[in-house]
Amino acid sequence: MKTVIGNWKMNVGTRESVALARGVLLALRGKKAIPETVVCPPFTALAEVRKIVARTHVALGAQDLFWEDSGAYTGEISARMLAEHGVSHVIVGHSERRALFETDEMAGKKAAAALVAGLTPVICVGETAVERKAESQAVVVKRQLVAALSPLKAKGKDRVLVAYEPVWAIGTGEPATPNDAVAMHAFIRGFIAESFPSLTKRAQVLYGGSVDGTNAYAFLREKEVDGVLVGGASVKMKEFGDVLSAACEVIEKQGV
Ligand code: 13P
């Protein structure tokens, strides 16, 4: 199964979110084989987008959550509140949040809270340009994985998505090469198998960072790449439609 997630970030309001959600449904209409598709609007648009994607193959995701269930945490949104809104996936530890607001440990608490509420966490990991230059990407990603996965107690049907998003590739128009992605995905998969064997079967690894309509196929056709997490191109309907079509084509060709 291939997964395509659109992270709309803070780029769209409710009206645009609704239009994008309609566009996603249109792009998938009539396709024989479709990827698992998740759209992640801003919090304020979740309720309206839910109305569009309810009872379709498109799932609703959020961009963040807080780890406590309820209480005096002004401005925060809990996993339970998201679940109440029909949310099934939640992005955790995005590099844009790590840069400004949160630590590796906080990402772990958030991922654990997501699972407890029955949500699928999409845990983002990835090195900066400086860290890549110093060839420390494996060390950095390992540290982020340990912090994010250690608190998890997955059971039943729980799933965990890991998104390898090198910071230098996000929003730059300069994606990693598919080879770079494959190498890091293999590393991530190997590390999870070795250090978190109970998660091995539940974890899928997605690539994110300047994925668009023209390069999505090259990533998605790789066996090591379970899917893509798309930012900028996911708020341009034509581009995102092309990403979805690329995923459909790979699934049809490879029967995955
Ligand atoms: P871009 O696709 O704009 O590079 O962003 C990727 C991303 O951050 C998805 O979470």
> What phi-psi label fits residue 255: left (phi over 0), alpha (psi between -120 and 50 degrees) or beta?
left
Helix axes 237-254, 14-28, angle to 10 degrees: 30
Q: What is the pLDDT of residues 28-39, one digit of tens each?
A: 999 999 999 999
Distance 150 CA to ligand 1 centre (A): 26
Q: Which of 39, 54, 47 is nearest to 14 (CA)?
A: 47
Between CA 238 and CA 213 the distance in angstroms is: 8
Mean pLDDT of 70-84: 98
**Percentage of the residues of the chain whose pLDDT score is greater than 70:** 100
Given this model, what pLDDT does residue 107 score?
Answer: 98
> What residues does each domain of the chain span?
3-230
Nearest residue (CA) to ligand 1, atom 1: 231
State the alpha helices, DSSP H only, in the chain: 14-28, 46-53, 79-84, 95-100, 104-116, 129-133, 137-149, 178-195, 216-220, 237-254
Amino acid at 151: P
Between CA 122 and CA 249 the distance in angstroms is: 24
Q: How confident is the model at residue 154 (pLDDT cuts 50, 70, 90)?
A: confident
The answer to whether the CB of 171 is under 6 A from ligand 1 is: yes
Q: Please check if 171 is assigned to a binding site.
A: yes
Which residue numbers are catalytic?
Answer: 94, 165
Given this model, what pLDDT does residue 41 score?
Answer: 98
- One CATH from 3.20.20.70, 3.40.640.10, 3.90.105.10, 2.70.98.40 for 3-230: 3.20.20.70
Between CA 29 and CA 44 the distance in angstroms is: 27
Given this model, what pLDDT does residue 155 score?
Answer: 87
Output the pTM of the full model.
0.98
Q: Please check if 8 is assigned to a binding site.
A: yes
